[in-house]
Amino acid sequence: MTLEEKQQDIIDEFAIFDDWMDKYEYIIELGKELPMISEENKTDDKLIEGCQSRVWLNTDVVDGKMNFTADSDAIITKGIIGLLVRVLDGETPKDVATTKLRFIQEIGLHEHLSPTRSNGLASMVKRMKLSAIAAS
């Protein structure tokens, strides 16, 4: 599946929810299911300190593809991280660096990526992009 197809996939999944709470129920389930980052990788240099929640991000380049694992102490943040990782993990540095993450806007979660939300997600996406730029 291409990066673009993965985005569309998520948009289609969310299309069935017409209620906010149902949407969040789903995100929370995603957050609960995902073991994200190994405990030994939860080090301070990987920590993105948001005012509201904390995020850990580990980036790697494996065989020319970006490899992301990430985690958060808040489950909603973690669920959204799951979506971001699902879209960006395993893609080329160039695609990660240049693709617009339109799915976030389309499923109505863009408020979570706003820097004013201070949950660490905006900085996380920025770091993902920067690591891809560095690798490309």
Partner 1 sequence: MITDDISIPFDVSRIRTDFPTLHRTVNGKDLIYFDNGATSQKPKVVIDAITEYYTNNNANIHRGVHFLSQLATAQYEDARIIIQKYINAPLSEEVLFTKGTTDSINLVANSLGELFTEGDEIIISAMEHHSNIVPWQMLCERKGCILKVIPINEAGELIMDEFDKLLSTKTKLVSITHISNTLGTINPIEEIIEKTHNIGGYVLIDGAQSIQHIKIDVQALDCDFFAFSAHKVFGPTGIGILYGKKEILDQMPPYQGGGDMIAKVTFEKTTYNELPHKFEAGTPNISGGICLGTAISYLSEFDLGAIHAHETELANYAEEKLLEFDGLRIIGTAEKKTSVVSFVVDGIHPFDLGTLLDKQGIAVRTGHHCTQPLMEFYQIPGTVRASFAFYNTKEEIDVFIRAMKRSLNMLR
Query: Is the distance from CB of 30 to CB of 83 less than 8 angstroms?
Result: yes
The one among 52, 98, 105, 114 contacting partner 1 by CB under 8 A: 52
Question: Taking contact as CB under 8 A, which single stretch among the options 16-24, 40-48, 60-68, 127-135 is the one that binds partner 1?
Answer: 16-24
| Rounded Cα–Cα distance for residues 80 and 43 (Å) | 21
Smallest gap from Cβ 73 to partner 1, in A, equals 6
- Catalytic (active site) residue 90: no
Distance of CA 127 to the CA centre of its chain: 11
Smallest gap from Cβ 38 to partner 1, in A, equals 20
Q: What is the pairing mode between strands 65-72 and 54-62?
A: antiparallel
The one among 8, 11, 17, 24 contacting partner 1 by CB under 8 A: 24
DSSP secondary structure, 51-70, as one string: SS-EEEEEEEEETTEEEEEE
Alpha-helix runs per DSSP H in 41-120:
75-88, 93-98, 102-106
Smallest gap from Cβ 50 to partner 1, in A, equals 9
Which of 51, 130, 133, 134 is catalytic? The answer is 51
Of the pair 5, 19, the CB lying nearest partner 1 is at 19
Of the pair 21, 62, the CB lying nearest partner 1 is at 21
- Residues serving a catalytic function are 51
